Amino acid sequence: MNVLSLFDGMSCGRLALERAGFPVTNYFASEIDKFAIQVAQANYPDTVHLGDVTGVKTHENGDLFVPLDRGYKIDLLIGGSPCQGFSWAGKRLNFDDPRSALFFEYVRLLRELKPRWFLLENVNMKQEHQDVITEHLGVKPVRINSNLVSAQNRDRLYWTNIPVRSMPENKRIYLKDILEDGWTDREKSHCIDANYFKGGNLKSYFQK
């Protein structure tokens, strides 16, 4: 399966596909944050990074254009376009926020690539703005809070043509279930340059 992930971040989409048991033949990612790219490359070095979403191009036949390579038919298009314009925590500029207006780049590539499957994620927002996205994508969103499967309260909307027949089972995971001792392990980090203390735990460190 060939996957194109827009606004890819650190390739959590690929991790989700991997855990769900979906084989990925080629994974193409559009991302501009250098630290997110660094993490993604460390975990998935075969990811093909395409840069800014506005520069992602397609061939006339609908294949993804990959510089210095052949075209690729995309089977799955995924992405979580910037949410700052829709978030209740922000100024709610909606599509007037240039970051949230990048949603239309997702629409452009969806129409050009015509993938078999697509999925778009964004924050819970005003109904009138949900309706704009719904009109462009042709499907209504499914609302899922990630607190069903994690210790994080993350209420999100998902527009997809993948059939959703039920909600995830509530695994009742709480913060205490995932907390470690506050230790930062540089060997497991891909973009941390600072020299952190070693040995002991966070509580004993501050008691010195």
In this structure, of 16-25, 76-85, 103-112, 139-148, the range with the lowest mean pLDDT score is 76-85
User: What DSSP element (H or E) covers 109?
Assistant: helix 103-113
CB-neighbour burial class of residue 127 (10 A; exposed 0-12, middle 13-18, buried 19+): exposed
Q: What percent of the chain has pLDDT over 70?
A: 77
In the residue annotation, 191 being an active-site residue is answered as no
> Which of the pair, 105 or 197, is modelled with greater confidence?
105
Report pLDDT digits (tens) over 190-205.
666 655 555 545 444 4
Amino acid 190 reads H
| pLDDT classification of 90: cutoffs 50, 70, 90 | very low
CA–CA separation, 115 and 72 (whole Å): 11
- Which pairing describes strands 142-145 and 155-160: parallel, antiparallel, or unpaired? antiparallel
Say what the pTM is.
0.82
Q: Give residue 206's pLDDT.
A: 44
SS3 of residue 78 by DSSP: strand
CB-based contact 75:115 (threshold 8 Å): yes
Average confidence (pLDDT) over 174-178 = 85
- CB environment 90-123: b (16+ within 10 A), e (fewer): eebebeebeebebbebbeebbebbebeebbbbbb
Mean of the pLDDT values across residues 54-62?
95
The residue among 149, 137, 102 whose CA lies nearest residue 8 is 102
- Cβ pair 95, 89 in contact under 8 A: no
How far apart are the C-alpha atoms of 139 and 153, rounded to whole Å?
A: 25
Q: Which of 6, 17, 74, 83 is catalytic?
A: 83
